[in-house]
A and B are shown apart, each in its own frame.
Chain A
Amino acid sequence: MNVVARTPVPSINAPDAASHHSLDRLWSRAPGFIGWLCSTNHKDIGLRYIVTAFTFFGLAGILALLMRIQLAFPEMHFLGPDLYNQIFTVHGSTMMFLFAVPVMEGIAIYFVPLMVGTRNVAFPRLNAFGYFAYVAGGLLLWGGLLTNTGADVGWFAYVPLSGPQFSPGHRVDVWADMITLTEISALVGAVQVITTVFKQRAPGMSLNRLPIFVWAQVVASFMVIFAMPSVMIASGFLAMDRLTHVNTHFFNPAEGGDALLYQHLFWFFGHPEVYIIFIPATGFVSTMIETFSGRRIFGYTALVLSLIATAFIGFGLWVHHMFATPLPNLGRSFFTASSMMIAIPNGVQMFCWIATLWSGPRLRRAVASAVSADKTQDRATSRARAPGTAHPTARIPTPLWFVLGFVFIFMMGGLTGIILASIPLDIQVHDTYFVVAHFHYVLIGGAVFPLFGAFYYWFPKWTGRMLNQSLGRWNFWTLFFGFNIAFFPMHILGLKGMTRRIYTYVAETGWGNLNLLATIGAGIIGISILLFLVNVFVSRKRGEIAQANPWFAPSLEWAIPSPPPAYNYYFLPSVRGGHALWENPEEQPIVVGLSTEKREVLNTTIMDAQPEHRYELAVDSIWPLLLAIVVGLTMTWFIFSPWAIPGGAFASMLVLFAWFWRGTEPKHLIEAAEGEPAPEDVPEEPATA
């Protein structure tokens, strides 16, 4: 990179070590394991989400490799049909509920407060509770798999297969109760993000100056709020239908219930879910494209409106998952039209990104200089002269490679999406590997590629060190080729009639070669993920030390040291545009007058972010963890007995009483403020004020 990174803005950081220390103590968690469990700092919780979600990604990836081994050759006996069913169900459920949504949420929880210029999320304890509830859900699902109680009915668990008649035992109950726990967590996260953005922005950050990343997280959070209840109801009805002594008949046609009702409820959540995963990823893409092109993003308003339009239309598409069911023709046509329509806002986004990259001075300059260097010297000498600048493409930073990979792969997924939105074609390839190929192109292309880009982009913020960029490019190219080798053949397999979720096939089908190819691709993806892990573990300790703003990015999180101090901003910043660090931040006023004895943040007005009032946040607490344990045990109990609900509700209430009662004891504040330096050291009075 040829742009000299600026030092952090001096004015909003701690003036000296002593002042840093005193505020840091107020906002840090207590030392030791108990302190770790009690932490309510959004950076702790956000990173925990990200690390946990990535662990589940790895585990579900291992399941995917097991499936690919089983399918590599005809009539393999590596996995039996029963185990295969459990494995693909847990793979899909983990990727959707325990990886994709939580990882996006974790990044939001980490970066939204930083980007809007505040010190923590609006409800820090609830935030901690959300994380632990998510872990409980993950333990439940994986505990089930490891005890041969793994869900085995596919990630959407259609009735009647998942109903009491065809799925006796407790496998489906484990799945249904995992849903409840993870959705609690998602809803809690969504409420956090929206409230933090609405009420805690830096003075001057009116809604039209909000970074696109933050807009994307807000839009996705609203989608969570209106979509997640639907899957909780679907899985709740399913659990009630199945539970002995409850035995309702929601999905039992013999008693007036309806199997299609389940599909409607599930997909009314399930389709928005795709956008709940994809919209934050577009936020990463916009952020990285803006930074690396070195200009304000092209079409800010159009981009924001596209996000909102995508969210609205995203609620009107769910029936396209059900084209193979007996629906009225008018309904089918309507949902075909709306499925096509969502291409419009997504297309607008795509064109805005291309326009930004095309006209970005920074990237153009970098590539042009490399091209001219290439023209004047032959390649070998230029490579020898300056490693890393030898070839024009070497000037493309690693995170941007993932963005470019996203553009290509997501577009491929979009093209097959248009095919699937059309009813005759959909019915032809319904439940085949064509669909498997499509949604992996959309989800891995649309979410995992931007996510890896985001890892490379923000890793220095988390750790203070850069990931190795060359290894990163290896990571990218192996992932890119591995992905296409693994999933492109599935389109053809689907067209040839290979149905999804079959555990083996006979040689006469002629599917063997393409399946073997897909398995090889999956292996390459595995190698790519290993390269990434090596990069993370090595760079964490030995990577190049990152400057505070290594990419010369415009958003506020880069104004403070990496990793950020516990309090984020010593003086809260103010902004006068959408690109805080590109707009002479040294001249911006800083916020003074917040308490240094309690955890206080500034609340601003919703539209214009004018300072409005001060707001005290709760201190660290063990009660969120205890509540999550109670809720987790309740849902585990609910697998076996309906009495879990009143019992669990009563226990939760006791914990909440304690949470409430203890939480407002001023003792904690006094403890936290103990050892504060003399008043003249506190930052309420800056040297010049």
Chain B
Amino acid sequence: MSTPAKTIDVSHLEPHVMDARSPIWWGNLLLLCIETTMFALLVATYFYIHMNYAAWPPPRATNSNYQTNPALGYPTINLLLILASVVPMFIADRACLRRDAGTVKICMTAMVIIGLVTIALRFLEFGCLQFRWDDNAYAGIVWTTVGMHLLHLVTATAENFILCLWLWIKGMDDKHARDVRVGAVYWYWIAAIWIPLYVIVYFGPRLI
């Protein structure tokens, strides 16, 4: 029974880290890889189905003159809102590093409200698609793409809501500050992925 000559003492190491060194950050990143693959496959499906049509979007069987391009109003407002929402998220993200609980609480509350508004706008967006999901394959894929992104808006807003609740009731500790930062990465991704998806869903029919 020999005893080791040396030890590596880790008691001085930080118990929490707030950045990309944290396992949670990596878990979140891998989740985003999964979800990015999902959207990539939806986009591939979109273009695959496009090959089956002479006109895109397909004309309506009942009235061929009817406008089939998706309307741009609500979708564009929502896009701008989602992009703008990155700002309060970023402020909260930075405030976590300073352990500035007050700013984080206010920004997170704002994020919950913004999230609810984007979700509401998203429901109006469905009306702008001009088709019902069961009209044809084109309608199916655009509804699914927009709907999948809605699912992320809902998930992230729910996550922000519970974190916000925690911050207001129990205050901010290092662990939850890290959770806010990881949630911020998720939100940045939600905003970033929506740019190409918005272009494809709303301008695809006009450009291709």
Interface residues of A (CB under 8 A from B): 10-11, 122-123, 126, 187, 190-191, 194-195, 198-200, 203, 225-226, 228-230, 232-233, 237, 240, 246-250, 252-253, 255-258, 261, 264-265, 268, 571, 574, 586-594, 600, 602-603, 605, 611-616, 649, 653, 656-657, 660-661, 664, 684, 686-689
Chain B 11-24 interface mask (CB, 8 Å, partner A; 1/0):
11111110001110
* A-B pairs with beta carbons under 8 Å apart, 15 shown: A229-B34, A233-B42, A246-B133, A247-B134, A248-B137, A249-B140, A250-B137, A255-B137, A257-B137, A593-B12, A611-B13, A616-B175, A649-B151, A649-B154, A689-B9
- Asked if residues B26 and A590 are in contact (CB atoms below 8 Å), the reply is no
- Asked if residues B22 and A615 are in contact (CB atoms below 8 Å), the reply is yes
- Asked if residues B137 and A252 are in contact (CB atoms below 8 Å), the reply is yes
* Contact residues in B for A590 (Cβ distance below 8 Å): 4, 6-8
How far apart sit A233 and B23, CA to CA, in the bound complex (Å)?
28
- Asked if residues B53 and A225 are in contact (CB atoms below 8 Å), the reply is no
Q: A591-B8, A591-B10, A593-B12 are in contact. Are A265 and B41 (CB under 8 A)?
A: yes
Q: Decide if the interface of chain A is mainly helix, strand, loop or mixed.
A: mixed
Q: A249-B136, A256-B138 are in contact. Are A265 and B45 (CB under 8 A)?
A: yes
Question: In the complex, which residue of chain A has the Cβ closest to the Cβ of B143?
Answer: A248
Known: A589-B4, A664-B176. 20 other contacts (CB 8 A): A11-B2, A11-B4, A191-B30, A195-B26, A195-B30, A226-B33, A240-B144, A249-B134, A249-B135, A249-B139, A258-B48, A265-B45, A586-B2, A590-B4, A593-B12, A615-B16, A615-B22, A649-B151, A656-B158, A688-B3
* Contact residues in A for B140 (Cβ distance below 8 Å): 237, 240, 248-250, 257
Q: A229-B37, A232-B38, A265-B45 are in contact. Are A587 and B4 (CB under 8 A)?
A: yes
Q: Does B67 contact A (CB under 8 A)?
A: no
Question: In the complex, which residue of chain B has the Cβ closest to the Cβ of A121?
Answer: B23
- Asked if residues B3 and A256 are in contact (CB atoms below 8 Å), the reply is no
Q: Does B52 contact A (CB under 8 A)?
A: yes
- Asked if residues A613 and B13 are in contact (CB atoms below 8 Å), the reply is yes
- Asked if residues B136 and A255 are in contact (CB atoms below 8 Å), the reply is yes
- Give the interface residue-count category, chain B: 35 or more
Task: Name the one of B26, B34, B141, B175 contacting A187, with C-beta atoms under 8 angstroms.
Answer: B34
Q: A195-B23, A258-B52, A261-B49 are in contact. Are A249 and B8 (CB under 8 A)?
A: no
Question: In the complex, which residue of chain A has the Cβ closest to the Cβ of B6?
Answer: A589
Which B16-68 residues sit within 8 Å CB-CB of chain A? Answer: 16-17, 21-23, 26-27, 30-31, 33-35, 37-38, 41-42, 45, 48-49, 52-53, 58
Q: A195-B23, A232-B38, A261-B49 are in contact. Are A256 and B134 (CB under 8 A)?
A: no
- Asked if residues A612 and B48 are in contact (CB atoms below 8 Å), the reply is no
Q: Does B5 contact A (CB under 8 A)?
A: yes
Task: Name the one of B6, B13, B34, B136 contacting A614, with C-beta atoms under 8 angstroms.
Answer: B13
Task: Name the one of B7, B14, B48, B158 contacting A264, with C-beta atoms under 8 angstroms.
Answer: B48
Task: Name the one of B15, B136, B138 contacting A613, with C-beta atoms under 8 angstroms.
Answer: B15
How far apart sit A413 and B188, CA to CA, in the bound complex (Å)?
47
Q: A233-B38, A261-B48, A587-B4 are in contact. Are A123 and B30 (CB under 8 A)?
A: no
- Asked if residues B21 and A613 are in contact (CB atoms below 8 Å), the reply is yes
Report A646 CB to chain B, min CB distance, Å. Answer: 9
Q: Does B207 contact A (CB under 8 A)?
A: no
- Asked if residues B8 and A122 are in contact (CB atoms below 8 Å), the reply is no
Q: Does B195 contact A (CB under 8 A)?
A: no
Q: Does B1 contact A (CB under 8 A)?
A: yes
* Contact residues in A for B166 (Cβ distance below 8 Å): 660-661, 664
- Asked if residues B30 and A592 are in contact (CB atoms below 8 Å), the reply is no
- Asked if residues B38 and A589 are in contact (CB atoms below 8 Å), the reply is no
Q: A249-B136, A256-B49, A613-B17 are in contact. Are A687 and B3 (CB under 8 A)?
A: yes
